[in-house]
Amino acid sequence: MSAKIKFGVVGFGHIGKRHAAMINGNDESEVIAVADVSEDRQLEAKEILGERATVYASIEELLKNPEVDIVNICTPNGWHAKQALWTLEAKKHVVIEKPMGLNRQECEEVIFKSLQVSKHAFIVKQNRYSPTSVWLKSLIDEGKLGETYMVQMNCYWNRDDRYYKKGGWKGLKNMDGGVLFTQFSHFLDIMYWLFGDIKNINAKFQNFNHKTSTEFIDSGFVGFEFINGGLGTINFSTSIWGQNMESSIAIIGEKGSVKVSGQYMDTVSHCVVEDYEMPILPPANPPNDYGDYKGSAANHHYVIENVVNVLKGRSQINTNALEGMKVVEMIERIYQEGTYLG
Ligand SMILES: NC(=O)c1ccc[n+]([C@@H]2O[C@H](COP(=O)([O-])OP(=O)(O)OC[C@H]3O[C@@H](n4cnc5c(N)ncnc54)[C@H](O)[C@@H]3O)[C@@H](O)[C@H]2O)c1
């Protein structure tokens, strides 16, 4: 077998640990370096990875390691684009957790650098691998629904004080960015992947029950038009009491309508389409479980598999940096063009 691809992981928190496990679980890749600014996390990395990986206190030190081929950025959102840029400057490929950045400009700088140094920038959007997402994509791409009339997306999750803990990065404007970046960018990505860019945005935002725990609004209604035709809305909130309620997408097309719902957009609840019989889909992977709260689908192994296949020259990138930037730009525009009701 040819040599394993050597990964560095920056940020060894919830998701960094998953990345490391998925990388070491793939026969063709291994984690040889980890960086985290927290001493506790450095100790955890040493315990979990042992002799196999060198543990650093900063990304700057890790990037000096000539053995590292590619670095996975698993730090708070506000660091993503900056650390991706440094990684590319060090002539290494980069895998960037979602969101790619917190504004279009910093994402553009990453894309420019990636092209300049001929190194790949991969974006993590693992929900695209969910059976319902794969099915929706084929339905839309094959034109089964005809013209798109309306798309409605609902994202109703619970994020309360169990999630926003004092002293952490979650809830901070400069590190978290807001719920559309941290909780719901996966769903905006699916919408962008299926229907493309949006224009003429109207939005209303409110902060119902996070006035003391976050620096941003928790809920909103967003209306827009798709550049390719059709109307769209996103209703979102993290004010749901107790636990996540739903993430769903309803699509009304010329030749049929479908709805994918469930807590994690994982269940087809309606499919009536001209001359079409709904196939049986494989079961979805369970959501990432963080104890008191749950997140998106546990599909990270597909992301690592795609990275390995691309670097071995066997595949194309499933989620590229341009798509990552477009989703960031859409979110930035939604936040800019909405009315804040308090
Ligand atoms: N794809 C998904 O489904 C998914 C799920 C969860 C989190 N995420 C993303 O992953 C990122 C991390 O989230 P998390 O839940 O693991 O957070 P976390 O707080 O558990 O982990 C972040 C880690 O980064 C470290 N860190 C902070 N600043 C650093 C720096 N400058 N250099 C090096 N290390 C630094 C922290 O010490 C911590 O260990 C976020 O961007 C989040 O949006 C994605």
Note down the domain range covering 145. 128-296
- Give 20 Cα–ligand 1 centroid separation in angstroms: 13
- Find the CATH number of the domain harbouring 148: 3.30.360.10
Residue reference for tokens 């928190």: 13
pLDDT tens sequence across 232-249: 999 999 999 999 999 999
Query: Is any atom of ligand 1 closer than 6 Å to the C-beta of 101?
Result: no
Q: Both 138 and 97 in a single domain?
A: no
Q: Both 108 and 176 in a single domain?
A: no
Domain assignment present for 341: no
Domain assignment present for 336: no
Q: Which of 86, 107, 123 is the last residue of a domain?
A: 123
Domain assignment present for 177: yes
Q: Both 195 and 53 in a single domain?
A: no
Q: Both 232 and 174 in a single domain?
A: yes
Q: Which atom of ligand 1 is nearest to the CA of 79?
A: 31
In this structure, the strands spanning 70-73 and 93-96 are parallel
Domain assignment present for 325: no
Report the half-sphere exposure of 333 (CA within 13 A, side-chain side). Answer: 16
Domain assignment present for 313: no
Domain assignment present for 65: yes
Q: Both 53 and 192 in a single domain?
A: no
Amino acid at site 186:
H
Q: Both 236 and 289 in a single domain?
A: yes
Residue stretches of the chain with pLDDT short of 70: 1, 288-297
pTM: 0.96
Domain assignment present for 318: no
Q: Both 109 and 136 in a single domain?
A: no
Task: Please state, in angstroms and rounded to a whole number, the distance separating the CA atoms of residues 302 and 308.
Answer: 10
pLDDT tens sequence across 166-220: 899 999 999 999 999 999 999 999 999 999 999 999 999 999 999 999 999 999 9
Q: Both 226 and 283 in a single domain?
A: yes
Which of 42, 74, 164, 285 has most ligand 1 atoms within 8 Å of its beta carbon, as the pocket-test mutant?
Answer: 74
Q: Which atom of ligand 1 is nearest to the CA of 35?
A: 33
Q: What is the dihedral of CA 56, 61, 64, 67, to 10 degrees?
A: 10
Q: Both 66 and 150 in a single domain?
A: no
Q: Both 50 and 77 in a single domain?
A: yes
- Residue 208 C-alpha from the chain's centroid: 25
- Find the CATH number of the domain harbouring 92: 3.40.50.720
Q: Which atom of ligand 1 is nearest to the CA of 296?
A: 3
Q: Is 130 helix (H, G, I), strand (E, B) or coil?
A: coil
- Give 16 Cα–ligand 1 centroid separation in angstroms: 7
- Atom 21 of ligand 1, residue of closest alpha carbon: 13
Q: Which atom of ligand 1 is nearest to the CA of 80?
A: 41
> Would you mind telling me the total number of residues written for the chain in this entry?
342
Q: Which atom of ligand 1 is nearest to the CA of 36?
A: 34
- Atom 7 of ligand 1, residue of closest alpha carbon: 15
Q: What is the pLDDT of residue 290?
A: 65
| Nearest Cα to Cα of residue 86 among 75, 3, 265, 190 | 75
Q: What is the pLDDT of residue 246?
A: 95
String of b and e for 129-153 (b: at least 16 CB within 10 Å)? bbbbbebbeebbeeebbeebeebeb
Q: Which of 71, 97, 123 is the last residue of a domain?
A: 123
Which of 97, 106, 290, 300 has most ligand 1 atoms within 8 Å of its beta carbon, as the pocket-test mutant?
Answer: 97
Exposed/middle/buried for residue 293 (C-beta within 10 Å: 0-12, 13-18, 19+)? middle
- Give 166 Cα–ligand 1 centroid separation in angstroms: 16
Q: What is the pLDDT of residue 285?
A: 76
Q: Which of 123, 155, 186 is the last residue of a domain?
A: 123
**Total of domains in the chain:** 2
Q: Both 156 and 260 in a single domain?
A: yes
Domain assignment present for 335: no
Tokens of 125: 């959007």
Query: Is any atom of ligand 1 closer than 6 Å to the C-beta of 79?
Result: yes
- Atom 37 of ligand 1, residue of closest alpha carbon: 38
Q: Both 119 and 14 in a single domain?
A: yes
